[in-house]
Amino acid sequence: MNIKRLIESLSPNERKILPYLEEEINLICEKSELDNTSVLRALEYLQNKKIIELNFEKKKTVEIGINGSLYKSKGLPERRLLHLLDKKHIISLSEAQKESKLSNDEFKASLGALKKKALIELKNGKISLNANKEEISKKSFEESLIESLPLDYESLSPEQIHGLKSLENRKGIIQIKEIKIPHINITKLGKEISESKIKSQKLIEQLTPETLKKDSLWKGKKFRRYDILSPLPAISGGKRHFVNQSIDYAKKIWTDMGFKEMSGNLIVSSFWNFDTLFTAQDHPVREMQDTFFINKEKELPDKELVKAIKDSHEKGVAGSKGWEYNWEEKQAKKAVLRTHTTCLSSQTLAKLKEKDLPVKFFALGKCFRNETVDWSHGFEFNQTEGIVVDKNANFRHLLGYLKQFFDKMGFKKIRMRPAYFPYTEPSVEIDVWHPEKRVWLELGGAGIFRPEVTIPLLGKNIPVLAWGPGFDRILMDYYEIKDLRELYKNDLSKLRKMKIWVK
């Protein structure tokens, strides 16, 4: 770009500061009648056009804080206490706080500061002045420091540094800031432009519908030339959180495979969360250390279903013995934060009729466990649930559905291990390989619901394939996240760079 074209591309603010580039920033602001932010922005544009070079010097300054501004006008709390002691000489602690009108924190801070300087004496619940006016004046350097702020940190005297240290630990009195001071170097090109005669011709900055309507507003006028080559800051548009994007993607996989979505409440009764899934009422998973209980009770469904679940636990069904204990409605009514989305499966099965079969359902949502939080565990997590209700379904179909889902999610290296769960038989544990940690990540279980689950809910022992792998750990692998907690830290700089889930 030649000099003429470069000059024509200068914005009004760039033109305003050009004559003052050899001045300090504060003088540029004053002479151009622009604020500091506008001047700095214009300088950056000039640097992009290679008219100037900017170098920033880092400098620490000591500035007054919110409480410091208040104490600057009223005096430090210890100064107000000293004024009182100068009149009373000796006074009880309770009366001193009351008459000085200091808050509890201010009073304690004042006592500590004055005692440290040996200006007061505390004895038998009373406070007395232990210094004359000359000693008080010598040891009250903090006030003079506050009066002189702001100050350059590097130029502080030993006495000021001592005062700074005593004020630093007290909330909001002072603040140490690191500022960047720009230094301007005019380039060879900049000097050539400075020597050129820049006409003060008014250029049209933008073309608007109003401008086009009247010939007089644009005909014979000069438009400012736009520089399309200068670098600009990246613009991050709004988008859905990557976890929500991934949930949408997984839901589409299930619906493409012919599944219908299940939904329900986060707070459910123990009846739906445990009892319908043949989890004994004395099972460890129902203890406080594993489950979040809510201090309320939930109503149970119709008596016929409750009796069927009770009989399944106490006596068993289809030749099984059950758990052989006395099942209690009180335990079943306890409200919990759902520990898995499988409670949605049991609620769905209870509503099905034989004419609805075969049918496939899925769910994807939040669950809660009383876990110790670490890189691979959280007290809340997303789980993806699925059931297939079909008279002709078998275990091979179950493995096929799982492999198809994980393949579509981009996982080629998975394994399924024999496992035990109270409500499925046979059962498997699903693992995926984590290349960073070089370990197998456990995602969750799958299996075929036991007769003790299906007969009370469906009325017949119809095969029900079921699975419920954890979804958050799937996200960890795809997004190369090493710590599960990073999923919900909401670091904006990272969120802007997160890729969309596309496999």
Of 1 and 100, more confident: 100
Cα 104 to chain centroid, rounded: 34
**Confidence band (pLDDT; 50, 70, 90) for 135?**
low
Same fold? 64-157, 244-497: no
- Phi, psi (deg, nearest 5) at residue 39: -65, -45
pLDDT greater than 80 at residue 436: no
- The per-residue pLDDT for 445 is 87
Which of 172-186, 358-372, 397-411 is least confident? 172-186
Chain segment 230-264, per-residue pLDDT in tens: 666 677 777 888 888 889 989 999 999 999 999 99
Chain segment 43-71, per-residue pLDDT in tens: 888 888 888 898 888 888 888 777 777 77
**Confidence band (pLDDT; 50, 70, 90) for 274?**
very high
- The per-residue pLDDT for 18 is 86
Q: Which residues are bridge partners to 120 per DSSP?
A: 129
- Length of the chain equals 503
Q: What's the CA gap between 102 and 252, in Å, rounded?
A: 63
Q: What's the CA gap between 259 and 465, in Å, rounded?
A: 13
- Phi, psi (deg, nearest 5) at residue 394: -145, 180
pLDDT greater than 90 at residue 335: yes
Structural Rg of the chain based on CA atoms: 37
What's the whole-number mean pLDDT along residues 77-95? 78
Of 86 and 414, more confident: 414
Residue with tokens 């401008």: 211
- The per-residue pLDDT for 174 is 77
* Contact present, 275 and 332 (Cβ < 8 Å): yes
- Phi, psi (deg, nearest 5) at residue 453: -95, -50
What's the whole-number mean pLDDT along residues 437-445? 79
- Phi, psi (deg, nearest 5) at residue 170: -100, 125
CATH 1.10.3470 fits 64-157, yes or no: no
pLDDT greater than 70 at residue 199: no
Count of CA atoms in the C-beta half-sphere (13 A) of 7: 19
Of 306 and 481, more confident: 306
Give the torsion sign (CA, 332, 334, 340, 341).
positive
- The per-residue pLDDT for 218 is 77
DSSP state for residue 220 in the 8-state scheme = T
Instruction: Give the highest mean pLDDT range of 153-162, 234-243, 320-329.
Output: 320-329
Helix orientation angle between 25-32 and 36-48, rounded to the nearest 10 degrees = 100
Of 192 and 144, more confident: 192
* Domain boundary assignment for the chain: 64-157, 244-497
pLDDT greater than 80 at residue 374: no
Token couple for 318: 């289809």
pLDDT greater than 80 at residue 321: yes
Q: What's the CA gap between 340 and 385, in Å, rounded?
A: 8
- The per-residue pLDDT for 200 is 54
- The per-residue pLDDT for 9 is 78
pLDDT greater than 80 at residue 133: no
Give the torsion sign (CA, 475, 478, 483, 489).
negative
The 10 Å Cβ neighbour count of residue 212 is 10
The 10 Å Cβ neighbour count of residue 173 is 24
CATH architecture of structural domain 244-497:
2-Layer Sandwich (3.30)
- The per-residue pLDDT for 231 is 65
Of 165 and 1, more confident: 165
pLDDT greater than 80 at residue 347: yes
**Confidence band (pLDDT; 50, 70, 90) for 167?**
confident
Burial class of residue 323 (count of CB atoms within 10 Å of its CB; 0-12, 13-18, 19+): buried
* Contact present, 61 and 153 (Cβ < 8 Å): yes
Asked whether the whole model's pTM tops 0.75, one would answer: no
Of 223 and 398, more confident: 398
Q: What's the CA gap between 259 and 345, in Å, rounded?
A: 13
Instruction: Give the highest mean pLDDT range of 146-155, 210-219, 222-231.
Output: 210-219
- The per-residue pLDDT for 386 is 93
3-state helix, strand, coil in the chain (%, to 5): 45, 20, 35
Q: What's the CA gap between 268 and 296, in Å, rounded?
A: 11
Chain segment 478-492, per-residue pLDDT in tens: 787 877 788 877 777
- H/E stretch holding 397: helix 395-408
| Cα diameter, the chain | 102
**What whole-number percentage of the chain has pLDDT above 90?**
26
The 10 Å Cβ neighbour count of residue 357 is 13
Amino acid of residue 272: W
- The per-residue pLDDT for 196 is 67
Nearest by Cα to 142 from 124, 165, 111, 120: 165
* Phi and psi based region of residue 480 (left: phi greater than 0; alpha: psi -120 to 50; beta: remaining): left
